[in-house]
Amino acid sequence: MAGGDDLKLLGAWASPFVTRVKLALNFKGLSFEDVEEDLSNKSELLLSSNPVHKKVPVLVHNGKPICESVIIVQYIDEAFAGIGPSLLPSDPYERAIARFWAAYIDDKLVTPWV
């Protein structure tokens, strides 16, 4: 595991948002514990980690939860900047374009998960 960091990903196998985070973690070469959630019977860990929306994905890094897939991907890129390639372009304009397409996919092409 990268630098002794404890990473847990609370997710559901069919969620495209969880897949986005798994791709980012794998792209960076980070090891993580994949915690499969039963969305019809959510765990206390999920409910306490994401008390506002109570949904996946949630990345728990050293006991601290990060919610929402796009925010998690940005967090991974920043928290593990020295590990593996960058997930977002270095150019601010190109980063904005990448964020636009991520938001577009979320808003127009994907059904939200509970």
| 21-43 residue pLDDT tens | 999 999 999 999 999 999 999 99
Give me the number of domains the chain comprises.
Answer: 1
What's the CATH code of the domain at 12?
3.40.30.10
Q: Provide the residue range defining the domain that includes 26.
A: 2-109
Cα–Cα distance measured from residue 59 to residue 45, given in angstroms and rounded to the nearest whole number: 11
Q: What is the pLDDT of residues 41-84, one digit of tens each?
A: 999 999 999 999 999 999 999 999 999 998 999 999 999 999 99
96 within some domain:
yes
**Mean pLDDT (the chain, rounded):** 90
For residue 60, what are the β-bridge partners? 8, 65
Rounded to two decimals, the pTM is: 0.86
DSSP state, residue 90: S
54 within some domain:
yes
24 within some domain:
yes
Name which residue leads in pLDDT, 88 or 93.
Answer: 93
74 within some domain:
yes
92 within some domain:
yes
69 within some domain:
yes
The band of 1, judged by pLDDT with boundaries at 50, 70 and 90, is: very low
114 within some domain:
no
Strand order in the sheet with 7-11: 33-36, 7-11, 58-61, 64-67
